[in-house]
Structure 1
Amino acid sequence: MADEMVRKAQQFINGAYEGKLGIDRIPETGVTGWTTMFGLTRALQYELGITTLSDTFGPTTLSTLASKYPSLSSATVPSENFARIIQSGLYCKGYDGGDIDGTYNSRVQSSMAQLKQNMGVDFTYPGGDLVPKVFKGLLNMDAYVTVNSGSDSIRAVQRWLNGQYVSRKDFFIIPADGHHSRDVAKSMLFAVQYELGMADGTANGVFGPGTQSGLKSHTVASGDSGPWVQLFSAGMVLNQRPVSFTSSFTSSLASAVSDFQSFAKLPVTGKGDFSTWASLLVSYGDQARKGEACDGVTRITPARAAALKAEGVTYIGRYLTNPSTTSLPEKAIQAGELQTIADAGLRCYPIYQTFGRDASDFNYIAGRTAGQAAVNAALDHGFKSGTRIFFAVDFDALDGDVTSNVLPHFKGIEDAIADDGNRYAIGVYGPRNVCTRVGEAGHASASFVSDMSSGFSGNFGYPLPTNWAYDQIVTRTVGTGDGAIEIDNNIASGRDTGQGSFNPPRVQKADTRLDDSVLTAMQTDVGKYMESLGYPLDGGTRSYQHWKCFQSTVVDHDDVITELSNRYNMRKALVQTSAYWEMRHIEPLDEAAWEAVILAYNTTGQYIKDTSTGIAKQRAITLVGAWNHCLTKGYVTGRPILDASKDDDKYSIWKKAHDDESFALTSVFMIHMWDIDGKPGGDDSSPAMRSPRLDYTDSEIYDVLRRYQGPAEPAFTEAKKRLGLYYVMEKYNSISRNV
């Protein structure tokens, strides 16, 4: 809701400093935001005589303010505009700033006193004067009252930290809004370091060797009292444990500590020992702990299995696929590896991860694709029904990213797994906030927490998810000689136990004809996938219904597709996907254009427009280029080389693709072969790929599908959708070849 006084503050910035602050005009919306706060910060810097202006209220701003105006009041405020900056800041924070009239009046003083009380620094900075650190807190978006269902207990901790340590050089006022956060977590580390006696400049808010060493000599237990108990109980409060913020270590606190230790798989002592301190202060906790679980990108050999078992490891996380053909050659589960794990009495939990290092890689369509791809890979490796697959979110996802991208992604995974009959359970790998929110949304039943990435915003200030199964805390090397292996050491909760025995793996085989028993289910699943993308089964505004497209591009010519698949060592699903996708996109306008081309040629002998035609929507120029390339390379024989400059040559091959479904599907193979070879002479400068093979990676499959459509958008976006369709097609082809 707009606030007229905030609007006046915005008008003041624009009117007094237009052209002086190095920024555009502030939108005069009456709504507080970072843009307004940045404008006020730059206005303050301008008034202080700082020549290089910045959005950040940093060390230069703070030190300049402290040297010139260590305490601002009605007697010391240097100018009316200086006072207006203060008054505007108060209104943007929700306090009374007077009339923004350039006076540090009684209303400003009263609000300043209230602000400091809300921050918790009123005993350190009494009265209505404004000191530099409070000014810094004034010109940001932190709240100092409980907001958005914040916790009063957490707010009590925040206010105590501010009041206790604000006089230290590197401690700045943190929010007092009732919510744990990165800044609050860091302030806890500063507080610990100050209590350990570290000097200003040495204390740095990092959980380093000195801090860890000091904590090892500061165990707190029943009967203790004082600031160390306050800090420890604060850590419990911030980790959402059901305790009061207190300076006395009571029996009820000891009981809650035991519960937390049991939850986090720490030794249950009921005391605030080092391991418990560490788990409360940083996501990875005590990295000296030995976990019962690990994950890694290296093949498990008998010697490595023995080394892991000797280390106390039972559960091993391994990747279902590797999207790269060049890096980490043993990242994916290798042939015979699961049997080696089983023979050693160990268990394996599967992880599915493609590139996924940015929010843009996560959405509903990508989730559906990942779900079906993971199912196919899990079946290939021999994972039994009931296994939980952990789907990775391996980047620092902000809370907004979780809402807009990650949750829809996992809904897609959930829908794909459901369409497969829920043979596998869903887990999530990622930072704490990601895991918690995906679990609370009902999209995953257990979490594999990337706590080793302690700097991730989704870890710093968030508690360990209640459904955690594995907690990744440190990378280390175990074993020696042939048994040496680098692993991520993970604590196991027992919520997931992986698999200790496996079905025989599905070996790479050439494709066969589709088994009659799968056709109905395949048609249904393809239709469901397309419906999830917004394509109705009845075709909607498109020319052909789902059943007709499936029949023409998958069923009717299965013999031809199978024979060519074997000849070119190319998965049938690549051709089925390209052809089906294109046929689903035929519109009445396309068909009208085809009729116009035919009429014009029959009338004038001219090929008037190179429009894509037939069930696979192929243009003459593409057909000529692909067939000529394949003839030159010896991939095919028995056809003449055509001249793309001649209407007769273009029309003849175009008309054959229009009339002959079998030829159109054969041409999909030719186009794919041309694209894979780098499309020499064509319109795509993408480099040549590896020759067709049955074990193409996710990225290679995507690239083949993308190249079929073209070198520019929407081909890249559409290929992500086609990739999901590919995995549905491949599911039933793999069933058929393994019957």
Structure 2
Amino acid sequence: MVLRTQQWVNSVYEKVTGYQPVPEDGRTGWATVRALVRALQHELAVTPLSDTFGSATLDALTARSPVIGAGTANENLIKIVQGALYCKGYDGSGISGTYDLATGTAVAAVKTDMGVDGAFPAPGVVPKVLRALLTMDAYRQVKGGSARIREVQRWLNSAYAGRRDQPIVACDGRFSRDAQRALLLAIQYELGMDDDTATGRFGERTQAGIREQAVLGPGATDGEKRFVRLFQSAMIVNGWDLPLDGSCSPVVADTVLLFQQFARLLPANGIAGYQTWASLLVSHGDATRRGTACDCVTAITPERAGTLRAEGYTTVGRYLTNTPGTTFNKKIQPGELDAIAAAGLTAFPIFETGGRTSGYFSPEQGAEDALTALEAARGHGFARGTTIYFAVDFDAQVGDVTQRIIPYFRSLATRMKHYCDEYRPGVYGSRDVCGRLARDGLTVSSFVADLSSGFGGNLGFPLPDDWAFDQISTITVGSGSGGIEIDNDIASGRDAGQAAFAVPPRASAPLDTGFDMSRREALLEDLAAYLASIGMADKPLVWPNSTEASLDTVLRQDSLITGLSRVYRMRKALIQSPMFWETRRLTAEDALADLAVTAYYGYRAELEAWHELPPGERTTTPVPVPPFLQKDDASAGSGRIFARTAIAAHNHAVGAGLIEGEPLDPDDWHVMRDIRRRLRDDPEYTAGTMPQVIAMAASEAGVDADPLSYDTDGLSAVLARYHGTGEQAEQYGRELSGVYAVFEKYNATLR
């Protein structure tokens, strides 16, 4: 029926000046809706035609056909209504041009779903209802929508749709910018503003009116004014579960108190005063509030630190780096953190080298930023476990978050995990950005950009549960050498900042950098020559992976390997050489062993499931049969690491303080299975495990020298222990040392 709508509107209006034909694909969308809007404008003689159902169209419709119904003579107006109904999922009774009983039933159903059947009880379609139909708004709850928010949306429509400028808002259970404006308009109507003075903006008159008329204490109820229901609506759309009944019951007062405590509002007393209203209606809330945290792009001198302390601030956010390609110097300056600490302040780190447009965000950029931020935080002396707030400093739309920002943070979080969990990923951004990243488990804490109240990602979104800092205003404090402009932030207490800074000693030797891919062919030739010299030239029937394919396995992960070498302070070739060597030495026996391990854990899972069956069902279900070929462990992944080795290396790294985490139990077959799956299926996990295996090998081999400067014997001993013990391992170490030397030749020239 949507297709028939498209065919009809194209056939009738295709030659009309200003009409834009719609693709005839049977899919509801803006193209179809806008085609119907232009058709309506033509019928009303509104020119020029446009995509917008604005005031001129509404006025013309009101004048010519205030109700489209059974008595409407213009069949095309009825067909436009019927097409709009189909686009909304209602049965319009064909594109017939006859407003029959079925059409009237569909109109009644959509008005009920909108909540306006009381506001517009007469049969037929009034102009405001048709304008609502000619949008992409939904009037039934959609996936991900909230029944409680839909209740608020329908109530707003029912109570205020009769006002001239009050829109009929979507009733889909998702709060929107339009619904936020409708809520503010409703408050302004109750404050006594007329249609010409109500703006839907949280301006001075609205703020003053709330202070004078809408302070709601326990026992308050709706009478002539509906402030209680409006306040309850504001609480509900901000994620707080209250009845929408117009009564400030003890349950409501208790919930208001919880909200005030959550948002750090004062006083927290369960009374809906101005500050509470403001925090519900606009992202920055009462912008005159003074927080105890701040952030700034200006260096904190001892004089400025003294000003901040005197003004009641305890925590300062500062930038780890500057933005490449710019001359603006916003990063932490030498001695600055000492000045902050000396004044009794704490600091938290912000990372922003771009982040002002959607195009900045990609998985590759996230991987790069993880290492850049880590090394900058280390260099400034921020302690392990500190949260770094990565900036999303623009009005990110839903598509930006889904397609760009989430993939960026997924890559960022994964890399930070591989980099020893030394620092934790946080985010600076709109409420929507912060909330979605938190729900996906990609960040641990949010620094909310509520100062930007016009951001689409702030309007209609609640303060995220994990908020640490809430940026609400820009102010200047102090004067003279102590004067400084800051962003004033409310602190939740979730992140207290850091009070002391210990810059780690410099590495004993230059660290490795990314590989120069223009030298790939030369590196490949040297590796091939070395392998030929020890009798390991390419033999496909013996070693399925060629020298070139094995090298490319290493080079594909060059960014991660480089980062791992810098984080663990070891030579990059210590990771490259065993990864190349083990990939190159893969044989058919390894594939057979993998099948045996897969079969073993499949059997263990089936047996466990059988044991969990109810006794009666277990007696009638055959016991799983062990596979003929089975093993509980075998080497896997590009590093050919056994699961038990990976678990032991993890536990060693935890014990040595190299990484955060809890020890793993090698006697738990579930742990063994899961670790082996990750080694087999996740190349990044394998690469991230290899430095831990190397560190354990060095410890077991008794090599305590700096991994940046092993001598020949130390290197051979560590590489041998990567394989095991005994004469075969020693031979392995000697041969692998030659591979190490080839990689090191190319790495050394780039340091």
Task: Identify whether the pair has TM-score above 0.5, normalized to the shorter chain.
Answer: yes
Picking from 40, 50, 73, the partner of 2:46 is 50
Partner of residue 119 from structure 2, selected from 108, 111, 124? 124
Aligned residue in 2 for 1:395: 394
- Runs of 5+ consecutive residues of structure 1 not aligned to the other structure: 528-536, 556-575, 585-728
Rounded Cα–Cα distance in structure 1 between residues aligned with 2:459 and 2:442: 23
- Where 1:477 maps in the other structure, the secondary structure is strand
Amino acid at match of 1:451: D
Give yes or no for contact 1:319–1:351 (8 Å, CA) kept in 2: yes
Contact 1:305–1:341 (8 Å) recurs in 2 = yes
The residue aligned with 1:177 is 172
Q: Secondary structure at the match of 2:475?
A: strand
* Alignment correspondent of 1:406: 405
State how far apart, in whole Å, the 1-side matches of 2:133 and 2:34 are.
12
Q: 2: CA distance between counterparts of 1:97 and 1:549?
A: 57
In structure 1, the residue matched to 2:727 is none
Which residue of 12, 15, 30 corresponds with 2:11? Answer: 15
Separation in 2 of the partners of 1:132 and 1:549?
61
Match for residue 495 of structure 2? 496
Q: Does structure 2 conserve the Cα–Cα contact (< 8 Å) formed by 1:539 and 1:546?
A: no
| Equivalent-residue separation in structure 2 for 1:142 and 1:92 (angstroms) | 10
Which one of the candidate residues 97, 102, 113 is aligned to 1:102? Answer: 97
Cα offset, 1:22, TM superposition: 3.6
CA distance in 2, matches of 1:512, 1:506: 9
Counterpart of 2:309 in structure 1: which amino acid? K
Report the equivalent of 1:440. 439
CA contact (8 A) 2:68 2:78 kept: no
SS of the residue corresponding to residue 489 of structure 2 reads strand
Shift of 1:195: 0.7
1:143-182 equivalence runs, <5 A: 143-182=138-177
Q: Which residue pairs with 2:32 in the alignment?
A: 36
State how 1:197-596 maps to structure 2 within 5 Å: 197-217=192-212, 218-226=214-222, 227-267=226-266, 268-324=268-324, 326-329=326-329, 331-504=330-503, 514=510, 544-545=551-552
Q: How far has the Cα of 1:71 moved from its partner?
A: 1.9
Question: Using a 3 Å threshold, how does the CA distance of structure 1 residues 31 and 387 change in structure 2: closer, same or farther?
Answer: same
TM-superposed CA distance for 1:60, in Å, is: 1.5
* Contact residue 141 and residue 171 of structure 2 kept, 8 A: yes
1:546 Cα deviation (Å)? 5.9
Q: Quick check: 1:469–1:493 contact (8 Å CA) kept in 2? A: yes
Tell me by how many angstroms 1:335 deviates.
1.3
The 5-angstrom pairing of residues 685-700 of structure 1 reads none
SS at match of 1:389: strand
Q: Output the CA distance in 2 between the equivalents of 1:157 and 1:332.
A: 46
Q: Give 1:347 shift.
A: 0.7
Residue type of the alignment partner of 1:175: A
Residue 571 of structure 1: aligned partner? none
Q: SS of 1:148's equivalent?
A: coil
SS in structure 2 opposite 1:313?
coil
Contact residue 19 and residue 39 of structure 2 kept, 8 A: no
1:25 Cα deviation (Å)?
A: 3.0
SS of equivalent residue, structure 2 residue 186: helix
1:62 to 43, 46, 58: 58
Query: For residue 22 of structure 2, what is the amino acid of its counterpart?
Result: I
Alpha-carbon contact 1:538-1:544 (below 8 Å) kept? no
AA aligned opposite 2:388:
I
**Contact 1:21–1:46 (Cα < 8 Å) also in 2:** no
What whole-Å deviation, never above 9, does each CA across 1:660-715 have from its counterpart, x for those lacking one? xxxxxxxxxxxxxxxxxxxxxxxxxxxxxxxxxxxxxxxxxxxxxxxxxxxxxxxx
Deviation at 1:152, TM superposition (A): 2.2
Q: Mark the CA change 1:540 to 1:47 in structure 2 (over 3 Å): closer, same or farther.
A: farther
Determine the C-alpha separation between the residues in 2 that align with 1:392 and 1:294: 15
- The answer (yes or no) to whether the contact 1:538–1:546 under 8 Å persists in 2 is no
Measure the CA separation in 2 of the matches of 1:285 and 1:216: 14
Deviations 1:533-559 (A, max 9, x none): xxxx978976844669999xx99xxxx
> Could you tell me whether the CA contact under 8 Å between 1:21 and 1:39 is conserved in 2?
no
1:601-640 → structure 2 map (5 Å cutoff) = none
Alpha-carbon distance, 1:127 to partner: 2.7
The one-letter code sitting in structure 1 at the alignment partner of 2:280 is L
Name the aligned partner's letter for residue 58 of structure 2: L
**Partner amino acid, structure 1, of 2:241:** P
Partner SS state of residue 425, structure 2: strand
Task: Say whether the 8 Å CA contact 2:378–2:503 is kept in structure 1.
Answer: no
> How big is the shift at 1:503?
1.3
Give the AA of the match of 1:56.
T
Report if aligned partners of 1:396, 1:456 keep a CA contact under 8 Å in 2: yes
The change in CA–CA distance for 1:538 and 1:548 in structure 2 (over 3 A counts) is farther
Cα gap change, 1:540/1:231 in structure 2, threshold over 3 Å: closer, same or farther?
A: farther
Q: Distance in 2 between matches of 1:538 and 1:276?
A: 66
Task: Give the aligned residue type for 2:104.
Answer: Q
Structure 1 position 302, deviation (Å): 1.1
Indicate the residue corresponding to 2:128 in structure 1.
Answer: 133
Larger relative CO (CA 8 A, sep 6+): 1 or 2? 1
Indicate the percent of aligned positions where both proteins have the same amino acid: 45
8 Å CA contact retained: 1:283, 1:460 = yes
**SS of the residue 1:216 aligns to:** helix
Question: Deviation of residue 23 (structure 1)?
Answer: 5.4
Q: 1:28 to 1:489 in 2, by over 3 A?
A: same
Q: Distance in 2 between matches of 1:246 and 1:487?
A: 42
What CA distance in whole angstroms lies between the structure 2 residues aligned with 1:341 and 1:113?
65
Matched residue type, 2:296: G
Matching residue's letter, 1:64? A
2: CA distance, partners of 1:549 / 1:279: 49
Q: What's the CA shift for 1:67?
A: 2.0
User: Does structure 1 conserve the Cα–Cα contact (< 8 Å) formed by 2:69 and 2:78?
Assistant: no
Aligned equivalents of 2:182, 2:446: Cα separation in 1: 28
Give 3-state SS (helix, strand or coil) of 2:109's partner: helix
Q: 1:287 to 1:122 in 2, by over 3 A?
A: same
1:312 Cα deviation (Å)? 1.1
TM value normalised by structure 2: 0.68
- In the TM superposition, residue 513 of structure 1 has moved relative to its aligned partner by 5.1
What RMSD in Å do the two structures reach over aligned CA positions? 3.1
Q: How many residues align?
A: 539
**Deviation of residue 190 (structure 1)?**
0.7
Distance 2:505 2:354 in 1: 25
Q: Deviations over 1:517-576 (max 9, x none)?
A: x89x999xxx9xxxxxxxxx978976844669999xx99xxxxxxxxxxxxxxxxxxxx9
Asked if the contact 1:110/1:128 (under 8 Å) is kept, the reply is no
Partner of 1:704: none
Structure 1 residues 539 and 171: CA distance shift in structure 2, 3 A: farther
Partners of 1:129 and 1:7 lie apart in 2 by 24
Compute the displacement of 1:512 (Å). Answer: 8.4
Query: In 2, are the aligned partners of 1:40 and 1:85 still within 8 Å (CA)?
Result: yes
CA distance in 2, matches of 1:201, 1:461: 25
Distance 1:505 1:201 in 2: 64
**Structure 1 residues 339 and 31: alpha-carbon distance in aligned structure 2, compared to 1, 3 A threshold:** same
Per the TM alignment, residue 358 of structure 1 is displaced from its structure 2 partner at its CA by: 1.9
1:430 and 1:288 mapped to 2: Cα distance? Answer: 21
TM-score with structure 1 setting the length: 0.69
Matches of 2:252 and 2:142, distance apart in 1? 27
Q: Residue type matched to 1:94 in 2? A: G
Provide structure 2 residue ranges, at least 5 long, that are not aligned to the other structure.
Answer: 521-543, 563-571, 581-743
Displacement of 1:234:
0.8
SS in 1 for 2:426: strand
- Work out the CA distance in 1 between the residues paired with 2:61 and 2:288: 45
73, 84, 87: which is aligned to 1:89? 84
